[in-house]
Amino acid sequence: TPILGIETSCDETAAAVVGRDRDGVPVTLANVVLSQVAEHAAFGGVVPEIAARAHVEALDGIVRAAMDDAGLGFGDLAAVAATTGPGLVGGLIVGAMTGKAIAAGRGLPFVAVNHLEGHALTPRLTDRLDYPYLLLLVSGGHTQILLVRGLGAYERWGTTIDDALGEAFDKTAKLLQLPQPGGPNVERIAATGDAKRFALPRPLRGEARLDFSFSGLKTALRQAAEAAAPLSDGDVADLCASFQAAAADSLADRTRRALERFRAEFPGLADPVLAVAGGVAANRAIRTALEAEAAKAGVRLVAPPAALCTDNAAMIAYAGLERFEAGHVDGLEAPVRSRWPLDAGAVPLVGFGR
Ligand code: ATP
Ligand code: MG
Ligand code: FE
346 in Cβ contact with 150 (< 8 Å): no
**Ligand 1 close to Cβ of residue 187 (< 6 A):** yes
Tell me the C-alpha distance between 177 and 172, whole Å: 8
Nearest CA to ligand 1 atom 15: 140
pLDDT at res. 344: 66
pLDDT of 348 over the 50 cut: no
Nearest CA to ligand 1 atom 9: 279
pLDDT at res. 15: 99
> How many C-beta neighbours within 10 Å does residue 260 have?
11
**Ligand 1 close to Cβ of residue 304 (< 6 A):** no
What is the bridge-based pairing of β-strands 79-85 and 3-7? parallel
Which bound ligand lies closest to the C-alpha atom of 183? Answer: 1
| Residue 57: partners with Cβ closer than 8 Å, 6 or more residues away | none
The ipTM, to two decimals, is 0.99
pLDDT at res. 324: 98
139 in Cβ contact with 181 (< 8 Å): no
> What are the pLDDT digits (tens) for 81-111?
999 999 999 999 999 999 999 999 999 999 9
pLDDT at res. 45: 86
Would you say the pTM of this structure is higher than 0.80?
yes
Q: Band the pLDDT of 314: cuts 50, 70, 90.
A: very high
What is the bridge-based pairing of β-strands 12-20 and 133-138? unpaired
> What are the pLDDT digits (tens) for 279-296?
999 999 999 999 999 999
Nearest CA to ligand 1 atom 30: 183
Backbone phi, psi, residue 297, to 5°: -90, 0
**Ligand 1 close to Cβ of residue 118 (< 6 A):** no
Per-residue CA distances from 272 to 23, 147, 297, 319 (Å): 23, 12, 10, 22
